């Protein structure tokens, strides 16, 4: 069967469009954003994202509180477990009583953790001053000062 000129011309155009669309680079909007971990450090825009804060809350061990493997992971009933966990290397945290958020205690002074600073306050209500940072769903607090909270004191700035 002999095709007409118009049918052949249309077939060639459609074939060209198909080939071009299959080999053309994808538009930028269809690319997934790259996680920061895949971007070389020298090309990342790193800005300090900290905020000065004063908060009142309970000193807890982060693992037991977050995982709930040992019950609620807080309070006087959990104190012995929290002491053992923090002494053994589990990160201590401050459970903000205003928001219910857990802040992992980061270094207190250069290259040292918060274990020695927070062990005397485990399962107690404290007021801490320092800086918080939030990224990737993680809340951190660098503690500058910690003291027992006064009864009835509810401070979060």
> d(Cα 8, Cα 42) in Å, to the nearest integer?
55
Span 103-124, average pLDDT: 88
Q: Answer yes or no: is pLDDT of 27 > 80.
A: no
**For position 154, what pLDDT does the model report?**
59
| Residue 34 CA to its chain's centroid (Å) | 17
Tell the burial category of 130 from Cβ atoms under 10 Å away from its Cβ (0-12, 13-18, 19+): buried
User: 30 pLDDT exceeds 60?
Assistant: no
* pLDDT at 87 > cutoff 60: yes
**Residue-range domain boundaries for the chain:** 5-43, 50-148
* CATH number 3.30.200 given to 50-148: no
The pTM of the whole model exceeds 0.85: no
Best CA proximity match to 124, nearest among 104, 100, 97, 157: 97
Q: Do 53 and 132 contact (CB within 8 A), yes or no?
A: yes
- pLDDT, tens digit, 9 for 90 and up, residues 46-60: 667 789 999 999 999
């Amino acid at each position: 069967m002999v095709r007409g000129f118009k049918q052949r011309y249309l077939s060639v155009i459609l074939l060209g469009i198909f080939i071009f669309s299959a080999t053309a680079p994808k538009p930028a909007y269809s690319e997934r954003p790259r996680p920061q971990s895949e971007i070389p450090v020298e090309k990342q825009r790193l800005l300090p994202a900290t905020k000065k804060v004063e908060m009142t809350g309970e000193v807890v061990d982060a693992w037991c509180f977050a995982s709930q493997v040992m019950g609620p992971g807080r309070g006087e009933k959990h104190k012995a477990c929290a002491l053992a966990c923090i002494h053994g290397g589990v990160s201590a945290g401050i459970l903000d009583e205003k928001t219910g958020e857990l802040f992992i205690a980061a270094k207190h002074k250069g290259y040292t953790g918060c274990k020695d600073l927070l062990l005397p306050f485990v399962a107690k209500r404290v007021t801490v001053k320092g800086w918080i940072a939030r990224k990737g769903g993680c809340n951190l607090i660098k503690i500058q000062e910690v003291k027992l909270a006064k009864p009835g004191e509810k401070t979060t700035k």
